[in-house]
Structure 1
């Protein structure tokens, strides 16, 4: 196997991923040193922080962004690269809080979020391999029935992109596997190179006047009318603070941290397969995702590698060998890849909330502290929506969409910092067992 597989999953550098090996720009921003004054200080250099910074800068506010490691170091630069419509799961559950019209607006925002990514890429001409086309994969007939309901609802919301249901005999149009009994094509979703998108957005933010500092972990925050954000070598004084750390909040706000569970998600990348072999696996170069609790998601890279992800871990512990863990899952879908080398393996933490709705709002006891976290697998698009909504609220344009998210209560996971992951792992294990015996 390739020597790159022996690198650690986590370090101060980017994960040893296909993405890090194929970046198309370098930023190398300095650590914070000395004092900075700004309208807004943002903590977190992923999609949430970067897009909040871009939106604020466009509104004329001064912004300082602090990243503990490197831009895109967390989930923003490590994820599967799937850009899929929607925010949250089962948003009807919030009707008693935000009303039926509020639920409808959440669904519309789930469509808008993908368009925000499209617009960002086009506006700043970001080279990130953005490719349109996605297919939901049915593992059982009930999933296909659900797709038909989804299609009808999307059409009722005015969704303008092609949607097409696939019956079992049509599945070879999109995937060279016999594992699935149906699907739904969505040409308004797709896939991209997430780290190149993050780096492109960081360059855009810098061009708009945002001051961006890498390798600047926050050590302490002093709250008040003026917020003081301390790092080892510097200080930011700001009127407003945005915590955009998601699964890597690391105790900066214990109450907020208790509402997001860090869960491990992992990806492997094969050696380049060549165009002909790659198209036999995924004929239309779409992103694909199945419907199981421990779902598989996969796609092709620009150089015809298969990027295969999934295996969400709630235990807080990474597999000792990601490739050994993920390869059997890949071979179950594509057994013909048994002779193929795995060139890259990587993983990291994503943030999941108890109700699976992104947590976008402000702290009730600190009205000048805003936050965005817990995207539950829809982070590529939902983060861009979060940036827009946070910037509108900070600029005094709240009323409606930001308020919808801010009204929804979010449960604190039981068990505290050290026991909430094992408790949830037990619960998810039970749910997967029910799925295996056909009870869900």
Structure 2
């Protein structure tokens, strides 16, 4: 199944609230004929847009190929959360890679957040960064761990932006009886993800990047001068960047064995009016501790954007029904509220939830598999790729050196095995284990 077309119409954004409120960006023409560039980037999500921008700012000629529209994939559909650190906690990273590299990974995570905010301001993007992400815990043991982890970050990493919350504190914040405590990370935040992608695209154009939409890549030929082919054209380049994430498909099997596409779903309510203050007393985003994570925030016009729900298979289910169920478990008072938008998207995960950076060949680089932590880290990945292309590869090589196991069974069997695992963990969620 080609996920580029399994659930979406060619060249069109999904019918999301993000697309309905997107800033203007005229379509770019498709690639036709043969062109040359210093670098060809495949995929116009955050990784590809950031890589193209940072490369152009270094003086490289860049062609950026996108199968549909800029920000079409996970970059334009996600929950918009800009989290701290890496997808794994620092205690896990210390055990995995040692104290020195764990510190470097923390610093990269902090740089990633700062880079997002800096790019928004520097390029006057049509998007605002809103501070604060709360973490809502279902069990007292999770609360104890969250509070101890906040103390560790303050003590060992000098990060004192996390405010612990007890049962009353989390209830005052999120207006729900479903959780027993948590915290707020005041150094994290959230934004309109599609408008951020559009802002990056505008910055790319201003820097001289040639963006080609409706130009799905059919083949990448390796060699001293790689060739990237589409149905109507080809790009000869000294370097190639693979930034297609969950939509990479069969373009590069060595990456596909370590990066798995999965679907996620979001709905949007009508404006809540006075109910908005009951749902969230502060304009922060929230994520909970379920394995199948629920996450939500309020839009600027007072709608609830709620993500979650389970679905096994690459075809999208009845999304409103799928997501409405966990939303009402958290907010039963919204039972009669009208749903205005419901959409799905394909992201990519790895076995250990760390992003997969790799040199496919000396002149073909890839970064993907952000496992739900991609707004900041994919943006930083673009900067690290640009550094590596320019011969300053220390930080890119730090990421390539992280353990990155293949999915059992490779690309062929990874999905059935994930379904078994997700079924087990979602059962644990329902049982409260």
Separation (CA, whole Å) in 2 of partners of 1:298 and 1:343: 15
* 2:179 counterpart of 1:180: yes
Is 1:311–2:309 an aligned residue pair? yes
Between the two proteins, the alignment pairs up a number of residues equal to 427
Which structure 2 residue ranges, 5 or more long, are not aligned? Answer: 1-5
Change (3 A) 1:73 1:342: same
Counterpart secondary structure, 1:26 = coil
> Partner of 1:10 in structure 2?
8
Matches of 1:386 and 1:178 in 2, distance apart?
39
Give the SS at the match of 1:53.
helix
1:25-424 aligned within 5 A: 25-90=24-89, 98-156=97-155, 158-159=157-158, 162-274=161-273, 276-311=274-309, 313=311, 315-319=313-317, 321-363=318-360, 366-399=361-394, 401-424=395-418
Residue 337 of structure 1 deviates from its aligned partner by 0.8
- Deviation sequence 1:158-186 (CA, Å, 0-9, x none): 55563210111122331111111111111
CA contact (8 A) 1:27 1:203 kept: no
Native 8 Å contact 1:263 1:312 kept in 2: no
Q: Secondary structure at the match of 1:336?
A: helix
- Cα distance change, pair 97–224 in 1 and its aligned pair in 2 (3 A): farther
Shift of 1:266: 0.3
**1:82-108 CA distances to partner (integer Å, 9 max, x unpaired)?**
111122324655668744201221122
For structure 1, the residue ranges without an aligned partner over 5 or more in a row are 1-7
Return 288-297 or 412-421, whichever deviates more.
412-421
The 8 Å contact of residues 7 and 315 in structure 2, kept in 1 or not, is answered as no
Two-structure CA RMSD over aligned residues (Å): 1.8
Partner of 2:3: none
Deviation of 1:428 (Å) = 2.2
Cα 1:305–1:234 shift into 2, 3 Å? same
- CA separation in 2, counterparts of 1:208 and 1:193? 23
In structure 2, C-alpha distance between the alignment counterparts of 1:271 and 1:102, rounded to whole Å: 45
Aligned mates of 1:213, 1:396 — CA distance in 2? 27
What's the offset of the Cα at 1:435?
4.8
Greater shift in the superposed pair: 350-359 or 424-433? 424-433
What is the DSSP-based 3-state SS (H/G/I as helix, E as strand, rest coil) of the residue aligned with 2:241? strand
Aligned CA distance change for structure 1 residues 435 and 307 (closer, same or farther; 3 Å)? closer
For normalisation by structure 2, the TM-score amounts to 0.94
* Distance in structure 1 (CA, Å) of the matches to 2:7 and 2:332: 27
| Further displaced range: 47-56 or 27-36 | 27-36
User: Could you list the per-position Cα deviations for residues 35-88 of structure 1 after superposition, in whole angstroms to 9, with x for gaps in the alignment?
Assistant: 221111000000000001111111111111000110011000011111111223
1:411 Cα deviation (Å)? Answer: 2.1
The answer (yes or no) to whether the contact 1:27–1:199 under 8 Å persists in 2 is no
1:311 is paired with a residue of what secondary structure? Answer: coil
Give secondary structure in 1 for the equivalent of 2:314.
Answer: coil
Distance 1:98 1:419 in 2: 28
Secondary structure of the 1:412 match is coil
Deviation at 1:153, TM superposition (A): 2.6
- Equivalent-residue separation in structure 2 for 1:297 and 1:379 (angstroms): 15
| Shift in Å, 1:19 | 0.4
